[in-house]
Structure 1
Amino acid sequence: MLDTVLFSPKQVQELISTGNAVFIDVRARKDFEAGHLPGAVNMPDIFTYLAETTDDGLKTLQDKFVDLFSDYGLDGKKTAIIYEDALHTRYGGSCRGYWILKYLGYPKVGILDGGLIAWKQAGGALTTETTKPERTVFPISIQPHLMATYQDVLHALTNPSVKLLDNRDKVEWLAESSSPYGVDFAPRKGRIPGAVWIEWYDFMKVSDGQASFRSKEDILELAASRGLQPDDDIIIYCFKGARAANTYVALSQAGFKKLRIYMGSWNEWSRNPELPIEGGIPKAAAPLENA
């Protein structure tokens, strides 16, 4: 397993030279066709896919991405590097790809730190040439400890040893919008009861158009302000598990060990009228000036 999660442009350039890596661009097809890393393949489904965490939903997710990653030559020996424009511009798409591969048990996966913006600022070349890897057998080994289902979240509502972290945008936390796709994209607006809130942007700092995660000390301080400690059992949710994956990477880099993502997130939760929600003024821990 790789210890490195965030690969600098220089490290990615070295991987390109080895020929033993697969670079996965999660952007829309038109953006990919306008210019991408040499040898990269395009997989926008990493960002767009809406998951369900029923047994059938998890099986569908697993089958879909095992097939896609097999198509792109991920055989367990090649390093997979996921990238987007920047860590803050596509709602955590590259981190979602990283987390999906970790959940599927892939041993060698990382993220281009700073995304394509950092790559270009470092003098990295782009190409419009396409690559067709040889299909292989993806070495699936599901890591269930990384996934939270809607049932896990429901049980957590009465289990004080599990903490829920909502990292959606402010308007979603305040129940003013149901999703980033539109105010009424999902049937209900609100929050999962008892969740604390840290907006996903707060884990990053932006300079010259590129975002990077804050220092370990800053992240620990931010998490502690909402009552979250590195040994806590934490379930992170957003709308569909992309922003949650961005925060997952930030917290894991800061030393948090018991992290799960509720991959169905608000898209799934809001569509089941039997699952409780909280609306109106937030009751959970979020400083008034940030809420």
Structure 2
Amino acid sequence: MNYIIDKEWLLKNFKDPHVRIVDCSFSLADPKKGRQEYDQNHIPGASYFDLEKDLSGEIGEHGGRHPLPNLHEFIEKLEQAGINESTTVIAYDQGEGAFAARFWWLLQYLGNEKVFVLDGGFKGWNEGDYPVTSEVPAFNKAAFKPNINHDLLASMEEVRSVSDGQDSNKILIDSREERRYLGLEEPIDKKAGRIPGAINKPWFEGLDAGFYKPAEVQKQRFSGINPSNEIIVYCGSGVTAAPNYLALKAAGFEKVKLYLGSFSDWISYPENKIE
């Protein structure tokens, strides 16, 4: 199934009372920037979800730099935005792709399969000279009944079994840029390198100026992977792996999991090896 929506579809449907829009604008370099951009201008009807305040939990010894959020609090925020488990939801960011994909994955994990990512994000929307507003919407509170899809989330122990060669039917994909994958540089995490056995498919190679490349191109990117294998994607903290997850689904891969804690969680266990 294609979970990527174009701006023309959203332009026709953004006033539909059954559609909800979520702005996930964020900057890792300036955590306040996303909210400021939303307050200045956003797609009419869009609610704002912050990567660190809403889409991630508190950082602990394990779990990585952007751990799974408190699901009770996240669901409460969804309900306040008028979103339940069957609402059609369109998520976008400023065009980077990663933050909207993170939200998309979280809603999929909670059991909402009618969540999509806006291709090109807010940048693409603006290029179409489509309507924007600074008005913050208010909705009647919804009742979200989660149905957790555990098959979407890979645990550290599962990743370790793949890395150790105990589970040869699974593939590990490192979504970071090549220099970090090779351990030549590490600007964020305390250790450099990769999870042993992982192959490198940089997440940004699946996009072109914020727009996802066609499904046939995505299939070509992952052509060396057997579709019958289970795939586990990771990055530094589970954010930029999400666009790769989405690209794999668009390419027709069914068995895909996200290692949410990713490399920052992996290195929090001293016994885990680094390649």
1:267 equivalent to 2:258? Answer no
Deviations 1:84-122 (CA, angstroms, capped at 9, x unpaired): 111xx26x1111111110011013211111111111122
Letter in 2 for 1:112: L
Percent same amino acid at aligned positions? 26
Whether the 8 Å contact between 2:55 and 2:103 is mirrored in structure 1 is no
Q: Please list, as runs of the form range in 1=range in 2, the aligned pairs for 1:204-243 lying within 5 A after superposition.
A: 204-206=207-209, 211-224=210-223, 227-243=224-240
Question: Could you say which residue in structure 2 is the equivalent of 1:277?
Answer: 274
Moved more, 43-52 or 26-35: 43-52
Q: Measure the CA separation in 1 of the matches of 2:104 and 2:81.
A: 15
Please report the TM-score for the alignment, with normalisation by the length of structure 1: 0.82
Question: Could you say which residue in structure 2 is the equivalent of 1:287?
Answer: none
Whether the 8 Å contact between 1:79 and 1:108 is mirrored in structure 2 is yes
Please report the TM-score for the alignment, with normalisation by the length of structure 2: 0.87
Whether the 8 Å contact between 2:170 and 2:231 is mirrored in structure 1 is yes
Question: Could you say which residue in structure 1 is the equivalent of 2:148?
Answer: 142
Q: Measure the CA separation in 2 of the matches of 1:175 and 1:144.
A: 31
1:75 equivalent to 2:74? Answer no
Question: Could you say which residue in structure 2 is the equivalent of 1:171?
Answer: 179
Q: Alpha carbons of 1:250 and 1:9: their partners in 2 closer, same or farther (altered >3 Å)?
A: same
Q: Alpha carbons of 1:53 and 1:258: their partners in 2 closer, same or farther (altered >3 Å)?
A: farther
Q: Measure the CA separation in 1 of the matches of 2:13 and 2:214.
A: 26
User: Residue 83 of structure 1: CA displacement?
Assistant: 0.3
1:186 equivalent to 2:189? Answer yes
User: Residue 199 of structure 1: CA displacement?
Assistant: 1.1
Question: Could you say which residue in structure 1 is the equivalent of 2:249?
Answer: 252
Structure 2 gap segments, 5+ residues each? 26-33
Letter in 2 for 1:176: L
Question: Could you say which residue in structure 2 is the equivalent of 1:9?
Answer: 7
Q: 1:35 aligns with which of 41, 45, 49?
A: 41
Q: Alpha carbons of 1:238 and 1:63: their partners in 2 closer, same or farther (altered >3 Å)?
A: same
Question: Could you say which residue in structure 1 is the equivalent of 2:170?
Answer: 162
SS in 1 for 2:222: helix
Whether the 8 Å contact between 1:106 and 1:139 is mirrored in structure 2 is no
1:19 equivalent to 2:26? Answer no
Whether the 8 Å contact between 1:189 and 1:270 is mirrored in structure 2 is no
Structure 1 gap segments, 5+ residues each? 279-291
Q: Measure the CA separation in 1 of the matches of 2:72 and 2:269.
A: 24
User: Residue 221 of structure 1: CA displacement?
Assistant: 2.2
SS in 2 for 1:271: coil
Whether the 8 Å contact between 2:91 and 2:103 is mirrored in structure 1 is yes
SS in 2 for 1:68: helix
Whether the 8 Å contact between 1:53 and 1:149 is mirrored in structure 2 is no
Question: Could you say which residue in structure 1 is the equivalent of 2:56?
Answer: 49
Write out the 4+ residue segments of structure 1 that deviate beyond 6 Å after TM superposition: none
SS in 2 for 1:274: coil
Whether the 8 Å contact between 2:51 and 2:99 is mirrored in structure 1 is no
Q: Please list, as runs of the form range in 1=range in 2, the aligned pairs for 1:91-110 lying within 5 A after superposition.
A: 92-110=98-116
Letter in 2 for 1:196: I
Deviations 1:256-276 (CA, angstroms, capped at 9, x unpaired): 111101011012112221221
Moved more, 64-73 or 243-252: 64-73
